[in-house]
Each structure stands twice: as structure tokens, then as C-alpha cells.
Amino acid sequence: MKFNYNVKLYKIILIGLLVAALVVTSGCADKSTSDTNQNGSSPSETSGVSDTNKAVESGEFTLTDGYGREVTIPENVEQVVCSGAGCLRYLVYLQAQDDVVGVDSLEKEKSEVEGRPYVLANPQLKDYPLIGEFRGNDDPEKIIAISPQVILKTGTSGQSTASNGADADALQNKTGIPVVMFPYGSLKNEEQKSEIYSSLRIMGQVVGKQERAEEVINYINATMQDLENRTADIPESERKTAYIGGVSMAGAHGIISTEPAYPPFLWVNANNVASGMGADHADIAKEALVDWDPEYIFVDVGTLLLGNEGAIGELKNDTSLSGLSAVKNKKVYGVIPYNYYSTNYESVLANAYFVGKVLYPDRFEDIDPEAKADEIYTFFVGKPVFSDLNKQHANLGFKQIPL
């Protein structure tokens, strides 16, 4: 009996050892298979797991920027630099200025006349480290020294998508830091307006301000719609003719500097006498202005920086302009400068309410243009800066200009 018992025990032990050996062998085989397949491929290559999914798993994600580039960035971005005209303005619109760790040379300039509302509302921006020269002429070494998580960059206007994309790739390769690039856009037509909205959404993705991006987009749409609704039913024959002169563009200009697609005129259904000159900034002949003879002339008061009162001085002293109906009837008015390191859209929207009030006072009875301007500035840049802007230009903004 004892002998039989021992034999049985031996068999049980032997079977147990065989089972254990099989388990170990199976485990090794499984691990080997999971690490590489027969062709030596990794699991992600054989299972269809994308680089984007891998990025998400590692605290990163991939987005498509405004020029169709796929850029992988950290999931939680809290340190950025802004390169190019208008880029930092958009970041302020999104209320993400605290993420800035460096600025370009123009943002650091100290001037008695500051035409950018976002800087007036955030003077601390001038104190950040330098990342390079303005208009996107970056210094890769300076950027590397600051170590932002992402470089935000506006494209060069008039340059092709391929060229802008190549610029972004070059900066990314030099710094080793993700570069997210997008066009600045404009409010002159639907195509360029969609560029603004797309760019705000892309930047919102980067800095975690998607909801704020939608708020800004909705605010712009609602404001334009309000302006349009006030004047949409005015018959063509009763719409006022108007001209905008002295428009700032890379500096101060005289009376012949204009915007043929000046948005405030479009939004309040005024007839822009220069509309036949195209969609972009234009310099006209003085003879054309005399021939057009608009009922109203609006002057960008940034023209004062030209000296001799700029466009205002021309309207006062140039005998070829003295016969203009607007001059003789004292219908010349000042509006706030809106082009300064690209377009300050908040100033464009504010100007539109003043223009509407002047041209169609009965349609804007409920509007105090200065109060409305401060409401708009507060929404976009966080502070009511109308008076700060205006006093830099002899307080001629939103006023009838004495000639």
C-alpha cells in the first residue's frame, strides 16, 4: 500500500511540474509575440495604433494648423511665444496672455503713442524676454533659451501656403519646439473672416481656450449683425456716400490713404466712394476724391503722427480740396486708428458704431459711441481703453473735426 501511495504521489508531482513548464513556455511565447511579430514589427504597426493615439497616451496630441501642417504639441500648454504681426493680439483676445514667456522687438518698444489696445490693457507684455525682431523675424537661439512649449506664429500676408508652411517647418527644425502657424485674416470678406475664426480656434486648441474662442467668434458675428440690422432697410437712394482717409498702414499716411473695403461702411450700408479700388489698402489720386465728392469724410486720426496734422492739415490747407462738400458742410469726423501691427478688430467694430451714429443718427439713437467702444474694448482686451487711445491723438476720435 505504501509503495502504491508513493507511486501515485510521484505521478501527481510530475504532472504538476509539466503543467508549470507549459505555463512558463506559453508566457514567454506570448511576450515574444506581443513585442514583435514574425516580420519584427512593433504592436502599433500591426494593430493599427496611430502616432496620434500614441501621442495622446504620452500626454501629447496632434492638430492641424492653419497651413495644413500636422503638429504634435503637449496636452497642457502653459508657456508660449507669439511670432508675427497680430499673433499676440489674438492670444489676448483668448484671455491667455499669462501664458506668454517672450515677445518680439515691436512688442517691447516703448512709445508715447501706443495704437494697440491689447498693449494698453496689458503693459506688462513689454517686460518679457526678447524672441527676435518683429514681423516674424525670429531668433531661434533666443527662443530656445526661453524654452516655450509651443511657438504660435501668424503667416506672412501675400505669401503662399507652401512658403508660410516652409517658414514654420524651418523654425521648428531650428528650435526643436512645435510651431503652430495660421493666417491672420480680416473682416473684409467671408473668406478672410473664416480665416480669423479658424485661427482663433486653432490657438484656442493650443492654449486650452476653446470656449473663449467661440465667445469671441460669436461676439464678432453678433456685433456685425446688429450693425447690419440697423441699416439694412435703408433704400439705396438714401444711403450716404462716405470716404475714409489718412488710414494708417505701416505708419501714418495722408488723405489719399484709404480702405476700399472699409468694414464699418459695409456694415452700416454706407456707399464707400472708393469701393471700386479693390479690396486692399489703396492710395488714390486727390483728383479722384474731388470727383467723388463724398457727403462725409472720416479721417483715421493716426494721421496726426505724419506731422502738420497729416490728412487733417491737407483738408485745411490744400486749395484743391477746399471745395469738397464734406469740408464746406463741416462733415469731417475722426475715427480711431485700427491698423497697428495688423488690424485691431476691436477698434474697427467700435468705429462702426460711431460711423453709423454720424450717418444715420435715427438708427443709432440708443448708442453712445464712446461707451460702446469701451464695452467692446473690455470684451476683447479686458479694459475700457477708449480714452487712453483717444488722448494720444488729440482727442479727435469720435468727434467732428474743426477745419
pLDDT tens digits, 272-328: 999 988 878 999 999 999 999 999 999 999 999 999 999 999 999 999 999 999 999
Q: Supply the pLDDT for residue 124.
A: 94
Beta sheet of 100-102, edge-to-edge order = 100-102, 80-83, 150-154, 179-182
Q: Supply the pLDDT for residue 113.
A: 84
| pLDDT classification of 58: cutoffs 50, 70, 90 | low
Asked whether the predicted pLDDT for residue 34 surpasses 90, the reply is no
Rounded mean pLDDT of 243-266?
94
The Cβ of residue 40 has, within 10 Å, a number of other Cβ atoms equal to 8
Take residue 196 and report the three cell numbers written for it.
480669423
Outline where 70-189 has alpha helix (H).
Answer: 87-93, 105-108, 117-121, 140-146, 161-175
| Residue 183 to residue 98: CA distance in whole angstroms | 23
Complete domains list, the chain, with CATH? 60-224 (3.40.50.1980), 237-400 (3.40.50.1980)
| Residue 346 to residue 356: CA distance in whole angstroms | 16
Outline where 176-209 has alpha helix (H).
Answer: 190-207
Q: Supply the pLDDT for residue 51.
A: 43
Instruction: List the single range of 34-38, 222-226, 297-301 with lowest mean pLDDT.
Output: 34-38
pLDDT tens across 96-127, in order? 999 999 999 999 988 878 889 999 999 999 99
What does 325-352 look like in DSSP terms, one character per residue? Answer: HHHHTT-EEEE---BSSSB-HHHHHHHH
Q: What are phi and psi of 150, to 5 degrees?
A: -145, 145
The sign of the torsion formed by the CA atoms of 217, 203, 169, 135 equals positive
Take residue 239 and report the three cell numbers written for it.
444711403
CA distances to 45, 51, 52, 63, 70 from 48, in Å: 6, 10, 11, 19, 19
Asked whether the predicted pLDDT for residue 183 surpasses 70, the reply is yes
Q: Supply the pLDDT for residue 57.
A: 52
Q: By C-alpha distance, which of 107, 175, 106 is closest to 140?
A: 175
Q: Supply the pLDDT for residue 278.
A: 83
Q: Supply the pLDDT for residue 55.
A: 46
Take residue 166 and report the three cell numbers written for it.
516652409
Which residues, 6+ apart, have CB-to-CB distance to 293 below 8 Å? 324, 325, 326
CB 397 within 8 A of CB 387: no
Which residue has better confidence, 306 or 29? 306
Asked whether the predicted pLDDT for residue 9 surpasses 60, the reply is no
Q: What mean pLDDT value characterizes the chain?
A: 87
| Residue 263 to residue 186: CA distance in whole angstroms | 9
CB 314 within 8 A of CB 222: no
Helix (H, G, I), strand (E, B) or coil at 318: coil
Q: By C-alpha distance, which of 62, 64, 59 is closest to 72?
A: 62
Asked whether the predicted pLDDT for residue 8 surpasses 50, the reply is no
Q: By C-alpha distance, which of 345, 371, 344, 346 is closest to 357?
A: 371
Asked whether the predicted pLDDT for residue 1 surpasses 50, the reply is no
